[in-house]
Homo-oligomer: A and B are copies of this chain.
Amino acid sequence: MTQRFAVVMAGGSGTRFWPASRAAQPKQFLPLGGDGRETLLQASVRRMAALLGEQQVLVVTSAHHADLVREQLPTLPALNVLLEPIGRNTAPCLAWAAAHARRRAANAVIAAIPADPHIGDEQAYGRAIERALSAAEAGPIATIGIVPSRAETGYGYLELGPELSPGVRRVAAFVEKPTRERAERFLKGGNHLWNCGMFCFRADALLRAVDRHLPGLGAFVRRADAAAERGAEAALVAAEYAALEKISIDYGVMEKESDIVVVPASFGWDDVGSWAAAFELANKDASGNAGDAERLALDAQGCYVRAPAGKLVALLGVRDLVVVDTGDALLVLPRDRAQSVGQVIEALRSSGRDRYV
């Protein structure tokens, strides 16, 4: 009998939600869900805790965000929070987390999920995770593939191979972000799924694969295990983590393995890639406006408005704007320009105003 764990990867940083997401507070720590209160991290942990029990949920995040994680997840055991001194992408993160889980249970099976997607149908999500964990217990790495709803060129795809058991297919190939044309063929063909970065694996199987493909990381894991035995893991991690190769689990391990399976699923997954996406996911008022700000909207529609508590935002005669006030910075842009927020960051940096980034 295996023991199941979740590893919630909360180490990301990003600029698409400036000015709310800053170096000090990336996207996963923002309340971008429908009710505008629960953060993406809180929702991710809540869903996995409902499936596996909170004791079984590990969170990997940056040491810079230790306080935020404690604050947002007050009931999560401190031992379940793994703090990276610096982000090294997902391969080091998951190898280290797998080592942790294996120390707790030699037969650990892990569901690894990013902290920041939105999940529309939590029932269907639970069933997909359950199925992928079961598939992983037999040995292979089991990814979750999202049935595409549009010809998206911003995601990687999984090409489907033969069915191995009900609802479980072999992965024929990992496909990089496609051109528009190719994405449209994928959508029509029905043979490709979005790679949403969720996968399940046995800790021992993943660590064997790491040894095969990333031997330096494998050696680190053994040193970490040895250090943990004498209560000195934190010092080892502080000393060595930054020197690990920065590489994703997809590129470093999965694309080099042949025994990868996929559970096709459809559960209202959204990667919440921009303020426009957050607007789409948010609950709207009668005028079609949304956001956590106290609003007064007169002849104003389709606006997404965030502001600190106690601040009133009055909109008159405007349409489809994003207005985000964080106290020291304010962003105003049309919703359909939300993917351009990165330009603001660049312009701030190039004009010497890094303090606002």
Contacts and interface: CB of A to CB of B under 8 A. Distances in A.
A341 interface: yes
A43 interface: no
Nearest to A325: B330
Contact of A318 (B307, B313, B317, B321): B321
Given A19-B314, A314-B19, A298 B344 contact: yes
A244 to B, nearest CB: 36
A97 B328 CA distance: 44
A296 B353 contact: yes
B332 A314 contact: yes
B312 A334 contact: no
A310 interface: yes
A258 interface: no
B314 A329 contact: yes
B329 A312 contact: yes
A341 B315 CA distance: 10
A323 interface: yes
Interface in A296-326: 296, 298, 307, 310-318, 321, 323, 325
Chain A interface, >50% SS class: mixed
B315 A332 contact: yes
Interface residues of A, number: 35
Number of copies: 2
A333 B318 contact: yes
Contact of A330 (B18, B313, B343): B313
A351 interface: yes
Nearest to A331: B314
A356 interface: yes
B321 A333 contact: no
Given A341-B316, A356-B312, A298 B334 contact: no
A340 interface: yes
A316 B298 contact: no
